[in-house]
Amino acid sequence: MGEFSPEVPQYPRFLTEADLERAIGKQGISELFSDRGQSTPEERGEAIQEYLVLGERAAFAHLGANWKLIETVADVARNDPYLRIQAAYISAELKCMTKPGFISAEGTGRYAGQRKIAEEYFKALAKSYLRSSGEQAAGSGVNVGGDIQPPNVPNESRFVFAPTRAGKGFSRF
């Protein structure tokens, strides 16, 4: 038998360390990603990139359900600074959860409030309740419809009505 090796899809990148800095500031990055001098600057940079990828994946997970392509989501994000900052907040909160000093008595991290706002923003954006400033750059038809609609099948009733209590005919209400 062969070994199992799942295919990991390659997601386009859109978050940068500058986006994280705009979200939580230089001091916030320093506090989150410092380990009291036990790592090199390269290792610190790799850790930052790892958590930026997690924030991007969260954005893809929320937006990918109703948007055409992953590349489209990345195009929108690259052209929408607010979307990138929201993804950066998710990255920061995920990193907080790895540091005991950043977890509150309720079990949430320092950026839990911002993460909740970011997730609600992504849900609203995915359903077209909000529009992104990056959609113009990504082209028309970026979002394929928000809520999922059932397909129309010719010669078939779209609604099924229950029979009346008397068993004759169908009730429309």
Say what percent of the chain tops pLDDT 70. 72
Give domain status of residue 37, yes or no: yes
- pLDDT tens figures, 77-93: 899 999 999 999 999 99
Name the residue range of residue 132's domain: 17-136
pLDDT at 75: 86
pLDDT surpasses 80 at 170: no
Does residue 166 fall inside a structural domain? no
Gap between the Cα atoms of 118 and 112, Å rounded? 10
Contact 29, 51 (CB under 8 A): no
Half-sphere exposure of 115 (CA within 13 A, CB side): 17
Cα–Cα distance for residue pair 122/116, rounded to 1 Å: 10
Q: pLDDT tens digit string along 44-70?
A: 899 999 999 999 999 988 887 777 677
Residue 169 included in any domain = no
Count of the separate structural domains present in the chain? 1
Classify residue 111: in a domain, yes or no: yes
Where does residue 15 rank: exposed (0-12), middle (13-18), buried (19+ CB within 10 A)? Answer: buried
Residue 150 lies in a domain: no
In a domain, 1, yes or no: no
